[in-house]
Structure 1
Amino acid sequence: MCRVVDLRQAVLAKNDASADALRARLAARGTAVVNLMSSPGSGKTALLEQELLRARERSVPVAALSADLATENDAVRLARSGVPVKQVLTDGLCHLEAGMLAGHLDGWLPDDTRLLFVENVGNLVCPASYDLGETLRVTLASVTEGEDKPLKYPTAFGLAHLVVLTKTDIAQAVEFDERAFRANVEQVNPGVEVILTSARRGQGIGALLDRATAAANGEPVHTPVMARPPQHHGHSHPHDGHTHPHAGHSHAAPEADGAMAHTHP
């Protein structure tokens, strides 16, 4: 008898095991991971640069790892903040995986790092399916992307602990309907907080750092409805306190040493 193996589930199960191990390892040393996901051009890098500068002002030990298909542009920008920054080039892979992340932290991440911000590959499909061992998962969208973004990418928004809206300084110019956006977010992820930001004007800067610090200190984070355990024959499986994002699309990935990494001191 032939046995059909669900490769996608096998890959995700392997990733979950790696994520659990990484989460425990980092927690033991007092480090929390903040996983930032968005479409390309959302303003994620600009906002993160401002948050890193704010962290330095507050003497919060932070580091940032930026993943991209090509170029070191984002890492160069983030390095201007003066915090430890590392660029990972995924060589065409559209997302990070927990094993890849763990491999790039060895020998680089400073021992006193309190918060590690991971700027995931610009993509709201593949990254949504992979737990990186994060303490806080943040999905960002800009006002230029439209109010229906959460409905088009329900997994990315539905599994978020926090939603950040960027480029609010041009909301009026692009006729962005904030009320409709909030309603759509609420539809896929009831109760999740939405933060309004503008890196250019300084609106909301520091709020992401506040939420990340609180999560690192053990304060409860929002529990997405999509992350609740599935029901099987009337019995529920206990939830272990973190999300297992197994919805959406996934792709088998190369091992950690298959991606190039560059460090900016």
Structure 2
Amino acid sequence: MCRTVDLHQAVLAKNDENALALRGYLGERGTVAVNLLSSPGSGKTALLELLLTRAVAAGTPAAAVTADLATENDATRLARSGAPVQQILTDGLCHLEAGMLQRRLEGWLPEGTRLLFVENVGNLVCPASYDLGETLRIALASVTEGEDKPVKYPAAFGLAHLVVVTKTDIADAVGFDRETFLRGVQQVNPEVPILETSARTGEGVDALLAHILRCAAGDETHTPVLARQHEQYLHSHENGHGDHEGHQHRQEPVR
């Protein structure tokens, strides 16, 4: 006798369990986690360094965990802000998981930390599926990547609570089609807030930090359409009515 085991859902179920525990742990400490997702080269690290620097200057207790496949270059760079920083090396794994973040935070996260920024692995595919126990998920895209990124990666942008455009100081030089980008975002995630920034000029950075702080205070809320659809899918799947097409399965004997 055999039973069907959906490996993809099993992995995500374990991650969701860890994310729930981590969310509770952070909540008890009064810490709000901000999950940053983007392609490599989007300017995510430069923007995060500036956010941390301004948070520290304003007296807001902030810390950061940065994940990468190899090297601690980003952690070294972010530490220049004066905020506490930790590095996670994924050893080739294309995404960060809640359990990995939880283990890194244990015994390290400074008391009183208000904002915890998590710089995810540079990737718009795998990281989108993994809840890290965050309160706020931000999808970033630079003007150099093209205006079709939201529709090419609908999960990454569709599950975001906030979309941030980076490197706007060179938008004209690279021929960035702003209106097409905005339409694409609205197509996959209607009514999601969109902020435009430049780490080089500082444009939009204070507005971004203010938005994050409002979210931390519970004053800004947005439930992405894809997030609701994801919950509906999981509910259907758990009750045996899900569509398994496209998922990897393995036959295991029942003992």
- TM-score, length of structure 1 as denominator length: 0.86
Aligned to 1:41: 41
Aligned to 1:24: 24
**Conserved in 1, the CA contact under 8 Å of 2:211 and 2:220?**
no
Report the identity percentage.
69
**Conserved in 2, the CA contact under 8 Å of 1:136 and 1:221?**
no
Q: Structure 1 108/231 Cα, relative in aligned 2: closer, same or farther at 3 Å? A: closer
Q: Structure 1 231/51 Cα, relative in aligned 2: closer, same or farther at 3 Å? A: closer
d(CA) in 2 for partners of 1:79, 1:231: 40
d(CA) in 2 for partners of 1:51, 1:220: 19
**Conserved in 2, the CA contact under 8 Å of 1:19 and 1:133?**
yes
Aligned to 2:181: 181
Aligned to 1:255: none
Aligned length: 238
Q: Amino acid of the residue matched to residue 44 of structure 1?
A: K
Rg: which structure is higher? 2
- TM-score, length of structure 2 as denominator length: 0.89
Secondary structure of 2:66's aligned partner: strand
Give unmatched runs, 5+ long, in structure 1: 238-247, 251-265
Structure with the higher helix share, 1 or 2: 2
Structure 1 residue 249, shift from structure 2 partner: 9.3
Aligned to 2:232: 230
Structure 1 residue 150, shift from structure 2 partner: 0.4
1:123 aligns with 2:123: yes
Q: Amino acid of the residue matched to residue 209 of structure 2?
A: L
Aligned to 2:152: 152
Aligned to 1:262: none
Q: Structure 1 231/56 Cα, relative in aligned 2: closer, same or farther at 3 Å? A: closer
**Conserved in 1, the CA contact under 8 Å of 2:37 and 2:123?**
yes
Q: Amino acid of the residue matched to residue 201 of structure 1?
A: T
Q: Structure 1 233/90 Cα, relative in aligned 2: closer, same or farther at 3 Å? A: closer
Structure 1 residue 175, shift from structure 2 partner: 0.5
> After superposition, where does 1:1-265 map in structure 2 within 5 Å?
1-228=1-228, 229-230=231-232
Secondary structure of 2:214's aligned partner: helix
Q: Once the two structures are superposed, what CA deviation does each residue of 1:95-127 show, in whole Å capped at 9, x if it has no partner?
A: 111111000001111011000000000000000
Q: Once the two structures are superposed, what CA deviation does each residue of 1:209-255 show, in whole Å capped at 9, x if it has no partner?
A: 21221122122421100111427999xx9xxxxxxxxxx999xxxxx
Secondary structure of 2:4's aligned partner: coil
